[in-house]
Chains A and B, each alone.
Chain A
Amino acid sequence: MVLLSAIVRSCLLTAAFLAAALPAVAQSTLENDVKATFLYNFTKFVEWPPSAGDETFRVCAVADAAFVASLDRTLANESIEGRRLVRLDPRSAEEARHCAIMYVGSGYGERGAPLLAAVRDLPVLTVGEGPQFLKQGGTIGFFLDNNRVRFDISLRAAQRSGLKVSSKLLRVARTVEGETQ
C-alpha cells in the first residue's frame, strides 16, 4: 500500500516536474498538480500554533474544479502529525476561520477577498496567485518563471498570522517580503 502510494506519488511529482520544466500557455493539469503538491509541502515547512483537540488539518481552496480535483488527489490518505488532511471549500467567513491553509485561485479574488479578510489575523496560511496577492495581505504568492512554478513569501503576513516559516522554505522562495535583518 505504502509502496503503491509512493509510486503514485512519484509519478505525480514526475508529472509536476515535467509540467514545470516544459513550457505551458495556460494553467494546465500539471500546473494544478504541482501547486497542489506545493500546498501539501508547505505544511512541512510552516509551523502552526498548537490547536488542541482538532483532529483534522483543513486545507481550504477557493478555486476551479480542476485544481480542487488535483488537490483532492494530492491530499488523499495524507496526514500531518496524526491529523487527517481534509479539503474544504469554505462558504462563509466562519468556515474559513477553521482552515489551516487558504488557497485562492486566479479569477476567484472577489469571492476570496472577504474570506481572506476574515482570517487576516488568524493562524491561516494564505496562498494565492501572482505578486499582487502579497500586496493584498497574502502570505505566499505563486508565479511562473520559465514555466516553472515558484513563489514569493511575505514574512510580515506570516508573523501577523502567528505562523513560523522554515528558513528552508524562505530559501527556495524567490523573494521574501518583510524580512528582518
Chain B
Amino acid sequence: MRAFVRRLPIRQKLVFMIMSTTVSVLVLGSVAYISLDYYNSRGVLLRDLSAQSDLILKSSTAALQFLDPPTAREILRTLAPNEHIRRACLYDAAGRKFAEYAAAGSSEGCPAVPGEDRSQFSSDALILVSSLLDSRARRAGSLYVLSDLEVLTARLNVQLAIVGIVLLLTTAIALLIASRVHSIVSDPITDLARTATAVSSGGNYSLRARRTTDDELGVLVDAFNRMLERIELRERELSAANEGLRNEVAERRRAEHERANLLVREREANRLKDEFLATLSHELRTPLNAILGWTKLLRTAVIPPSETDRALEKVERNAQVQARLVEDLLEVSRITTGKLRLDIKPVDLAALTTTAIESIRPTAEARGVIVDRRFASILLPTAGDPDRLQQVIWNLVSNAVKFTPAGGMVVVSLRRLDQVDELIVSDTGIGIDPAFLPNVFDTFRQADGTSTRAHGGLGLGLSIVRHIVELHGGEVRAESDGIDKGARFIVQLPVRTPDRLRDGRSMASLEPAPPPQTLLTGTTIVVVDDDGDTRELLQTLLTTAGARVHLATSADEGFRLCVEERPDALISDIAMPGRDGYGLLRQLQKALGNEMPRATIALSAFAGARDRQLSAEAGFDRHVSKPFDSHELIAMLRSLLSAGRESTDARR
C-alpha cells in the first residue's frame, strides 16, 4: 500500500489523500449517523406503535366491558391506514382472543394468548403486547400488534442512497479541490523540476526558478536558486581560470615558436658562417697556390728569364687579390665591431667613379666585357670619405664585371638629382633570382652557396657597399628582371656641401695629425709576444714614435726585462706558450709593487667582452684586440702615460 502510494505522481497522491480522508470521514460519519438514526427510528416506531396501541386499547374498553367484538373489530380496523401494521389482536381480561385485525395480504397469525406485555424487534417485524388496566390495576384486556419494519428499511434505504449521492458529490468535489490544490502544491514543484531539468540538460546556470509561494516550497526554491548562483559563480571562475590557462598555453606555444624560429635562424647563421669559412679558405688558397707555385718556379729557375716578368706579374696580381680579400675581411670586421670611421673630405664623385672604372677596365676587357661610362666628366662636388666611396664604386663595378659573361656590357651612369647623387651600375649579366634579391646585401650571403660555384669571392663586397653607403647617409638597392636578364645596382647619396663639414666629429679628422715621431719620445716600452711579425711590427711602430723598445718572446723573458729595465709601459700578448699574459702581470705586480710600468696593455686576438673583463681583472689598463690600429695604440699609450705621469708626480 505504502509503496503503491509512493509510486503515484503528486497529483494522484493529493487526490488519494483528500479522497481517503473525505471518504473515511464520510463513511464513518454516515455509519454513525445511520446507526443512531436507525435506533432512534426504532424508538420512534415503538413509541408510535405504543401510542397507537394505547389508543386502540382505550377505545376498546367499552367494547371489551360491554362484550362487543364487532365494535372492537371496528376499532381495530382504524389501524388500517397504517399499512405497516400487519396484524392486531385484542384479548379480553381472561386472555381470550376478543377481536382481531389483519392487513390485506397478511399471512402472520396471532398467538392464542397474549403473554406478558412486551415489545420485541425481530429481523423484519416489531411485536408489541400491551394491556389495559382497570382501576384496581387488573388486566382488563390486551392488544397484540405486529408491524413490519418497512418504515425503517425504507428510511435506511433513503439514507444509504443519500449517503451514496453525497459520497459521489464529495468525490467529485474532492477531485476538483485536488486539481486546484494540486496546482497550488505541485506547480512550484513542477516549475522547479522544469528549471532543474533545463539547467542540467542545457548547462545554463543563469536560469532561476520562480518563487510563487512563501511556504516550505518557497524556501526550497530559494535554496535551489542560491545553489544555482553558487554553481554559476564557480563555473564563471572555472571558465576564467580555463581562459587564463588557455592564454598561458598560447603564450608558451608562441614563445616555443619564437624559440624554434630563433633556433632556425641561429642554425641558418651557423650554416652561413660554415659556408663562409669554406669559401674563405678556398678563396685565400686559390691566389696562394698561384703565388707559391710561381715563386717556387722562380726560385728553381725553371722559368727562362724572358718569362720572369710575367711570372712576377702573376704573383703580384694574386697577392693583390689576396690583399683585397684580407682588406674586405678587415673591413667587415670593422663594420661588425662598429669601428669603421669615415674620414670625411671634399670629394668629386665623377672623378672617383672614373678612377674606379679605369682601374677595373683592363681586367674587364681581359674577360671580354665592355665597361661603358654614361656621364659627363663634370665636377660633382660633395663630401665623403674618398677611399671608401671609391671602394663602393669599385666593388659594384667589379661585381658587375664578375657576373657578366664575355660579350656582355656594364654601364655606369652618374647624375645629380635634387639633393641626391645617384650612381647606377647595370649589367647584362646572369641577373639575380627575385627570391634572393632581399638578401643580396647581407653579410656572408651568396646566391650560390655550394662549393662547386662558378664565381669566386667571399660575398662580402655588397655587404661592405651597403654599410659604407649607409654611413654616408645614403641608400643602395638592387634590381633585376630575373635570371639572365641582368641586374641594376642603384646608389643614392645625399649631396653634402663642404661647408656643412664644419660641425660634427669629422672636424677632428680634418685637423692635421701631429707627427707621430714625437709622441712617445723618452719612454721605455717592453713588448712581449711569441709572434715575431707582431713583435717586429710593434718595434717599427713604437720606435718610429720615438720610444725605446725591448722585445721579449715569452712571459719569463718579459718579466726579466721589466725587472731590469723598469719600463714606462708594457705591451703583452695574452695567449703564449708557457705562462700567459695574465700570469706575467700578476708576477710583475708581486715583484715590482709601486714600481709597475705606468701603462699596461693586453694585446690579444681574443676580442670578446669576457676577454676584456679577464684582462681588467688581471690588472691590465687596457685590452687591445688584434688587428690593432697603430694610431689608436699610440694615442692610447700616450694618454695612459701622461695620466700615469701626473699620478706619479702627485705621488712624488
Contact = CB atoms under 8 A, between A and B. Distances in A.
DSSP class of A's interface residues: helix, strand, loop or mixed?
A: helix
B67 A168 contact: no
A118 interface: no
Contact of A38 (B66, B71, B136): B66
Given A168-B61, A171-B62, A172-B62, A149 B67 contact: yes
Contact of A16 (B67, B71, B136, B138): B67
A34 interface: yes
A17 interface: yes
Contacts of A41: 65-66
A38 B62 CA distance: 10
Interface in A47-83: none
A135 interface: no
A172 B94 contact: no
A9 B66 CA distance: 14
B289 interface: no
Given A150-B68, A151-B66, 5 more contacts: A13-B93, A168-B58, A168-B63, A171-B63, A172-B62
Contacts of A144: none
Interface of B: 58-59, 61-63, 65-68, 71, 92-94, 136, 138
25 contacts: A6-B136, A6-B138, A10-B93, A10-B94, A13-B93, A13-B94, A14-B94, A17-B67, A17-B92, A38-B66, A41-B65, A44-B61, A44-B65, A45-B62, A150-B68, A166-B62, A168-B58, A168-B61, A168-B62, A168-B63, A171-B62, A171-B63, A171-B71, A172-B66, A172-B71
A85 interface: no
Interface in A147-172: 148-151, 166, 168-169, 171-172
B136 A20 contact: no
Contacts of A149: 67
B61 A34 contact: no
Contacts, number: 44
B82 to A, nearest CB: 21
Closest 5 CB pairs of A and B: A168-B62, A172-B68, A41-B65, A172-B66, A172-B62
Nearest to B63: A172
Contacts of A171: 59, 62-63, 71
Contacts of A10: 93-94
**Which of A17, A166, A169, A171 has most chain B Cβ within 10 Å?**
A171
Contacts of B63: 168, 171-172
A166 B66 CA distance: 13
Contact of A2 (B92, B93, B136): B136
Interface in A6-41: 6, 9-10, 13-14, 16-17, 20, 34, 38, 41
Q: Which of B59, B63, B67 has the most CB of A within 10 A?
A: B67
B119 to A, nearest CB: 25
Nearest to B62: A168
A99 B138 CA distance: 28
